[in-house]
Amino acid sequence: MICPSCKKEFNNHPALSRKDNKTEICSECGLKEALDIALGHDEKLIQEIMNIVLEYDKKAKESKKKQ
């Protein structure tokens, strides 16, 4: 599936866009939308949090592969 927001392909469970409550988007874009609402459009803080979340997710996936 292609995310209509970022145009990247994704295979995991989609998120529901908060912009219209019906468009399915990738989980990364879903998180960005949620943070944007929660943090009041603070792009720098949103990007810092996204980097932390994505790094954690990457490490969790690597750890799972080793098991």
Distance (Å, whole) CA 67 – CA 52: 23
Residue 10 belongs to a domain = no
Q: Considering the domain boundaries, does residue 37 fall inside one?
A: yes
Domain extent for 46? 15-66
Q: What is the pLDDT of residues 21-55, one digit of tens each?
A: 999 999 999 999 999 999 988 999 999 999 999 99
Asked if the structure places residue 32 within a domain, the reply is yes
Q: Is residue 2 part of a domain?
A: no
Domains in the chain: how many in total? 1
Decide if 1 contacts 10 (C-beta within 8 A).
yes
User: In this predicted model, what pLDDT tens digit does every residue of 14-28 receive, in sequence order?
Assistant: 999 999 999 999 999
Let me know if residue 43 belongs to a domain. yes
In a domain, residue 4? The reply is no
CB atoms within 10 A of CB 34: 13
Q: 41: burial class by Cβ within 10 Å (0-12, 13-18, 19+)?
A: exposed
pLDDT at position 61 is 85
For residue 59, tell me if it sits in a domain. Answer: yes
